[in-house]
Each structure stands twice: as C-alpha cells, then as structure tokens.
Amino acid sequence: AAPLVVAVSTSISAKQGLLIRNRADFEGARNLDAVVFDKTGTLTLGKFGVTDVVPIENYTDEGVLQLAAAIEQNSEHPIAAGIVNSTKEKGLTIGKVSDFESIPGKGIQGNVNGQKVNVVSPGYMDSHELRYNQERFEQLSEEGKTVVFVLAEDQLAGMIALADIVRDSAKEAVAALKAKGIHSIMLTGDNRKVANWVAKQVAIDEVYAEVLPNEKAHQIQQVKDSGRRVAMTGDGVNDAPALTTADLGIAIGAGTDVAMETADVVLVRSDPNDVVSLIDLSKKTYRKLV
C-alpha cells in the first residue's frame, strides 16, 4: 500500500488540478534543474487572431484569407482556428478542400477549386527558395506576430500575420522557478523573432526556436546530456516524444489526447504556475518520507 503521506498528497494534488500519472517521476520533480515550455498554447493562450494581411499584386486581403481558410478548416493547429474565425468574422464564405495534407512543423496543403493551395512557415519559403517581402515580414515578426504564407500553385498569394496572447501566469511561473534556482527554456517551431519577443515578455532564460517536431525530443536530450534534470511542458501532438524524453513530462490540460497519454503529470487548469505548485508538492511529499 502507498504510504499515508503519498495518499494524502494525491488528494491535495487532485484539488490543485494536478493529475499525477507517474509517481516515480513526480518524486523526481523536487530535484529539477530546468523546465522547458512549449510556446504556443503553454506560455501563450494559443488563441490567434489575424492582425495583418499582405496580398501580392492581383490578390485582395479577402481573397488571400479565403484561400487560406479553405484549407485551414481541416487543420487542428491554433493558427488554423485564428484564420478560419477571422475569415468568418469578416462575413466571407469559405470554400471546400480536398486532398488535405499537413506538412509537420511547416504548414499544410490542399486542393481548392482545382487549385493547389499551401499555407506555410517562413522556413518552408526559405527552403523552397520562394521570395517574399522580407522587410515587411521582419517588421511583423519583431512585433511578436506569427507570419504564414499563402501559396496558390506554388506561387505566393500573400502573407497573413497573427497575434497570440501571452499568459500573465507564464511570467509569474518563470519568476518563481528562477527564485528556486530552476532554469526556464522555451521550445518552439515558430520563427526566432517571434520566439524572442515572447521570451522577453515572460523573461525566460533560454530559447530554442524554429525546431521541427521531430527535433523537439532531441533538444530535450541535449539538455539532459548537459547533466541537468529536465521537465518538458507542452500541449500538442508534436510534443509527445519530447514529453517522453524528459525526466518529467507535463501536459497542459487543454491539449491533445496524445500529450495527455504520454505525460507523467497533467495540469488540468492549463496554468504554468501549476508547474511551480507541482514542484512544491513533490518537495513536501517526499521530504516527509526520508
């Protein structure tokens, strides 16, 4: 049977919105050196709104949004909801898509009215040597906006900038971890300038940006290889391998089923401050045992 103090901590943790799925790893939470946070949906709300549309010559703002929204309807990425909602709010109709595919960490692709349409990241544009208004792109990114590019038949139609909301509690959590001597790290697939902008808002110690989904676990391994005991906090499908690789995998409650099933601890309230509560609870619980 579980020692009494552990049983008590289970009911305390449930009240605090912490679902502990792996006791041994929860115990290790009292000795963490670093906590890695996914950006979108963890440090931020993951609720995007369109702020700017920059069409090229023969396109209009509306035309670019409609093309993008048609294929984003099929995507579960937070960027997708932002584009679809903003398009609907303008009263624009959204067409049908076929042959939908996602390009992990880089965007999506589909067929709209017989036309191949993509919505992609700056990294995709650069690796395909597609040209765009670099100056405008950098200006938007420096404002902390995530920029995606809309392509029709592999030709640029325009760019769409979206803004997310940084959680107040993210800043508090980073400060509380720092007070405990724990290093905070951001891990994101988003552009470096956007990542740095969010990092500044929450005063995070270290940033890994433009990381592809299949590289996230590798980044966590590197932190471990530097001799540090590390937790990973995330919400997405793309985060599951990183959650497994970390000494402690923490899933944010509003996230995907895959993240929930992989995590050692689930934060029901999606509050980054609960990472701090969980460390405190681990310390209290296991200090009494030894």
Distance in angstroms (rounded) separating the CA atoms of residues 163 and 186: 18
Q: Are 117 and 70 in contact (CB under 8 A)?
A: yes
Residues at the interface with ligand ADP (CB under 6 A): 38-40, 72, 75, 77, 79-80, 105-108, 119, 121, 146, 148, 188-190, 213, 236, 238
Least distance to ligand ADP from the beta carbon of 235, Å?
8
Give which of Mg ion, ligand ADP, none residue 248 binds (C-beta under 5 to 8 Å, depending on kind). Answer: none
From the CB of 68, what's the least distance to ligand ADP, in Å?
8
Least distance to ligand ADP from the beta carbon of 38, Å? 6
204-231 burial code (b ≥16 CB/10 A, e <16): beebbbbbebebbbebbeebeeeeebbb
From Mg ion, ligand ADP, none, which one binds at residue 190 (CB under 5 to 8 Å depending on kind)?
A: ligand ADP
Residue 236 interacts with Mg ion (CB under 5 A)? yes
Determine the Cα–Cα distance for residues 145 and 160; give it in Å rounded to an integer: 10
* Catalytic-role residue among 25, 33, 38, 271: 38
Distance between CA 253 and CA 131 in Å, rounded? 39
- Considering the complex, what minimum distance in angstroms separates the CB of residue 122 from ligand ADP? 7
Ranked by CB distance to Mg ion, the top (closest) residue is: 236
Contact 255, 235 (CB under 8 A): yes
| Strand-pair category, 248-252 with 107-112 | unpaired
In the residue annotation, 264 being an active-site residue is answered as no
In the complex with ligand ADP, which residue's Cβ is closer, 140 or 281? 140
Calculate helix-pair angle for 192-202, 134-142, nearest 10 degrees: 20
Residue with Cβ nearer ligand ADP (13 or 121): 121
Size of the site for Mg ion (CB under 5 A): 2
Residues of this chain that bind Mg ion (CB under 5 A): 236, 238
Give catalytic residue positions: 38
